[in-house]
Structure formats: C-alpha cells, structure tokens
C-alpha cells in the first residue's frame, strides 16, 4: 500500500531469537508475572477510526453481513524486558464463512507502509479477499506505533502542512539549509512527543508481536499475507520463527538485501519506469491523449510543470498552493495503481491550466491528510519505523555526491528520493542494521509474487527475497502487470495461484508467470 516519502527503502534486521519461554513469561509492571500468551481477547463492534487511523466511519459489514470485530492484545512495550510495561495492539477480524471442520485458522494481513493501519485497510479491501474467508478468519492489526497501537506522533496538522509544502529537492545553499532545518525540527518533535516509544517500534519487535498474536488467536502456525513492507515484516518473522510459518504469501516484495540508499535508488528507477508506462498507455489509446502527443512529450511536459512549480506554485486546495513537492507526491501516489492513471491524466490537464486541486488531492492521499485537514499518524510512524530499522545515517555531502546517479535513474524523482535519505540523520535512536536478515531454513514454502511494473517495490526484489529466504522456502512467481502489487490487480492467474496455496496448500511451480 502507499506510504509517505521517504518511500520505504528496505532495511532492518532480526535481532536475537525470542524463545517461546520468554513469550510465556512476559507481563506488565503492576500485575506481577503475567502469561500474555494466555490472554483472552474480547471482541466487540469496531469503533469509528481514530485520527491516528485516518478518521471516518465504522467499517461496513461485508455483503453477506459478515461483521467486523475489534479487540486489543497486550504486548510488552520493550521485548528485551518482557515483564515490564505493556502496550495495546489493536486487532480487527471477520469470521470465516466455513464450518469448523473446514476452517484452517486465522489469516493475518499486513498491508505495508511501514505506518499503515491494518485495522482500517482490511475492511476497506475486505471484498477483495472474500475467497480467502471461505476457510480463514481474516485478521489484521495496527502495528506498534501505528493507529491505535501506542501511536507515535511528531508534528501537528499545521506543521505537517508546511512540512509537505517545503522544497524536497533543494537547488541552492539557502534551500538546503531550510530543508535540513525542517527535517531536524520534525525529528525533534518526534522525540518530544513520542520519545518513550521510539526505541520500540522496529520491525523485529513487530515480528515478535506477530508470534504472540498467533498464540493468542489459537493457531498452531502463522498463516500470513504480507504486502509491500508487510513482506519484510513477514521475512523477519520467518527468520525468527521458521518452525511456526504456515501458509504465507508475499506480494509487492521488498528487496531484503538493499540498504536505504540502494532501496531509494531502485525506487527512483521504478517510479520512472511506471511514469513511462503511464505515458505510453495514454498516447496508445484510440482517443487523443490530452497531456501529450507522444510518450516523450508527456514526460517532457510533466518535467516542465515540476520545474515551473519550483519557482511559481499554482492554485491548489485553499489556502494551500500546489508546490513542486506536492505535485511530485501527487504523481507518485497515482503511479501506485493503474486505476489512478485517469486521475493523474485529469490532474495534469488541470495543472497545465493553472488548477492544481486534483494533484493536491492525490498528494494528500499519499501523506495521510483527510479533507478536514487532519493527518493520520502514518508519516510519523513511517519515519519512526524506518529510522529504528535503518542503521545508516547519511550526510548532506553524501547525498550531493550521489545526486548524479539518482538523476540518471529518474529526472523527475531522483532528487527528492536522494534527499529523503537524510530523514534519519538527526534521529534520536540508533538504527538496527543495513538490511534485514530473512533467512528461514526449515520454514514452510512462502509464495513470493513480483510485479514487473511495480514502482515502489521493483520486480527484482522478489527474486532477492526468494533467494534470501532460502532453498525450498522462497517460491518466486511473476506477474507481468502495472501498479504496486499483484493480487489486487484481479488477474485470474495470480488469484488462482495465491488462493490455491492459501486455501488448498497447492504450491505453484517456481518461476510461474502470469500476464
């Protein structure tokens, strides 16, 4: 799923293996020893989402009157001190339609980010997974630091408006100083408002929460569907608990071998590829493409628009103007899904006439801003989790040295993705590692699905993930399509393969290709 810039560059590690005995011995500070694996979940009708989750109304029942239920699971705030304070992990589920003798268990989803609320995302896409509900309870959660699970907060809504309007690709010394000061102020606000949680939001900790969740839900194995960053979380879980892996699918796959610099450079190439595919699609239609005569013309006009906006923003959504940074974010958001390409065409056509409202709506969607001006906490969580995971701390001199390669990868997106590497430079908590360890010898097969047109998690990452999981574990499959991920494309070949594995245990042949 979409995540705010800095776009996710895979990097974290799995720390020391948590023994089952440690899980059984954890508790909170005011109740003595407590066996958290024995806790009983109290399921209730789901409340309306909080601001941190994005606001809105309570989830609607599924077409067959399937009711969404929510609960809270207690987990140690600090897994290195499992008998200390606890936090609540917010869960959501809808029960299977199967009789008990056909039920496999729970299928747990993580939709990515990091920083995305699973409690709001699963019901939003629930109908897409109805086939899987024929044998599973569908379950998701807000990872620690996200939504209703001990959310981290940084800047307020007004400050975030200014943060996302700033120049994200500074051209001179003054703009660089302003960019660096803004980044430092954001990080200082995170420390001020959420300092106690910042050391405890890494992906290793979230993987340990998954293992506790498996036990509390009463499943012998973890059946799992990870998308985007969720594939990294799933890989870390498989490394920590290989013998507990059940049927698992990774879609829109993070490359676990890359450090943040390599991941951001790959994304620059991926989004540039997706932009080219969008341009080709527009000019290939029977009717005239309203934003260019050729694919090259489309891309050149977009480049000129962004250059012009750098010095002269246009009308956006009052009182905000569409700046170069906001327009770039809007374009990035639209490239996540082919379903959004018509809105990108419309937004560009409007922007050429001086109206930036549609591109700003797309930008707001990427950055977690609702129509009433409130932000969810996805940006704060995204940066906090990235910085807890990523060990490298880059300098402005490093970025300036790397700019030529980023620009060669993408004229439009290279600069902003290069400068985004400074997100963690002034972070108050050290990062864990250059990249995660996802090796999982002895785990059950994990189906790894790569999309050749994926901009955010480029296709090559699927092969790297399958190889890193190990022989007999990672089973690579290819979808020749567009957008972020494969299952949501509704491609019958992909759906049949994924559903066949999750529902019936039929492992596709490695190297299967769907078009």
Active site residues: 228, 454, 484
Q: What angle do CA 86, 89, 94 make, to 5 degrees?
A: 150
Length of the chain: 515
- Count CB atoms within 10 A of the CB of residue 299: 20
User: What's phi and psi for 110, nearest 5 deg?
Assistant: -130, 125
CA distance 441 to 151: 34
Burial of 266 (0-12, 13-18, 19+ CB in 10 A): buried
CA distances from 200 to 86, 143, 326, 423 (A): 11, 11, 31, 18
CA distance 146 to 206: 11
Strands 474-482 and 314-315: unpaired
Structure tokens at 343: 């809105």
Structure tokens at 317: 């959504």
CA distance 132 to 499: 7
Which string of DSSP letters, residue by residue, matches 251-273? ES---TT--HHHHHHHHHHHHHH
User: Long-range contacts: 231-234, Cβ < 8 Å, 24+?
Assistant: 231/448, 231/457, 231/465, 232/10, 232/12, 232/203, 232/256, 232/436, 232/438, 233/110, 233/114, 233/143, 233/203, 233/206, 233/207, 234/110, 234/446
Beta pairing partners, 476: 448
CA distance 226 to 202: 17
């Amino acid at each position: 799923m979409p995540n705010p810039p800095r776009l996710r560059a895979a990097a974290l590690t799995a720390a020391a293996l948590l023994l089952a005995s440690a899980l059984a011995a954890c508790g909170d500070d005011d109740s003595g020893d407590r066996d958290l694996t024995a806790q009983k979940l109290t399921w209730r009708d789901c409340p309306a989402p909080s601001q941190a989750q994005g606001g809105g109304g309570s989830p609607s029942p599924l077409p067959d009157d399937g009711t969404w239920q929510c609960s809270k699971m207690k987990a140690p705030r600090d897994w290195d001190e499992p008998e200390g304070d606890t936090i609540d992990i917010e869960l959501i589920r809808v029960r299977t339609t199967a009789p008990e003798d056909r039920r496999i268990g729970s299928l747990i989803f993580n939709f990515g980010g990091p920083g995305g609320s699973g409690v709001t995302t699963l019901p939003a896409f629930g109908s897409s997974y109805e086939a899987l509900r024929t044998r599973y309870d569908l379950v998701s959660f807000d990872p620690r630091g996200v939504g209703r699970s001990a959310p981290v907060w940084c800047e307020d809504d007004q400050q975030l408006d200014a943060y996302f309007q700033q120049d994200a690709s500074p051209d001179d010394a003054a703009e660089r100083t302003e960019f660096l000061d803004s980044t430092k102020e954001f990080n200082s606000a995170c420390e001020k408002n959420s300092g106690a949680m910042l050391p405890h939001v890494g992906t290793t900790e979230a993987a340990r929460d998954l293992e506790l969740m498996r036990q509390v839900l009463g499943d012998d194995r973890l059946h799992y569907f990870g998308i985007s960053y969720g594939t990294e979380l799933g890989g870390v879980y498989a490394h920590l608990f290989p013998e507990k892996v059940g049927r698992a699918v990774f879609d829109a796959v993070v490359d676990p071998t890359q450090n943040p610099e390599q991941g951001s450079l790959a994304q620059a190439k991926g989004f540039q590829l997706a932009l080219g595919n969008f341009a080709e699609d527009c000019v290939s239609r029977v009717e005239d493409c309203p934003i260019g005569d050729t694919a090259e013309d489309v891309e050149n006009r977009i480049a000129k628009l962004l250059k012009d906006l750098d010095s002269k923003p246009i009308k956006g959504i009052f009182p905000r103007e569409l700046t170069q940074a906001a327009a770039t974010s809007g374009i990035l958001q639209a490239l996540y899904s082919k379903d959004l390409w018509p809105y990108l065409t419309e937004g560009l056509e409007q922007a050429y006439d001086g109206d930036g409202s549609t591109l700003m709506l797309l930008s707001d969607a990427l950055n977690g801003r609702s129509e009433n001006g409130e932000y969810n906490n996805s940006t704060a969580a995204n940066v906090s989790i990235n910085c807890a995971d990523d060990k490298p701390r880059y300098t402005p001199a490093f970025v300036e040295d790397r700019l030529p390669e980023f620009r060669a990868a993408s004229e439009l997106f290279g600069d902003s993705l290069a400068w985004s590497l400074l997100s963690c430079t002034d972070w108050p908590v050290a990062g864990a590692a250059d990249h995660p360890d996802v090796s999982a010898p002895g785990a059950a097969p994990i189906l790894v699905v790569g999309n050749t047109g994926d901009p955010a998690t480029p296709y090559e990452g699927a092969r790297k993930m399958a190889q890193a999981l190990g022989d007999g574990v990672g089973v690579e499959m290819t979808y020749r399509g567009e957008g972020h991920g494969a299952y949501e494309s509704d491609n019958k070949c992909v759906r049949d393969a994924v559903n066949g594995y999750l529902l019936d245990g039929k492992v596709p042949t490695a190297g299967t290709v769907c078009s």
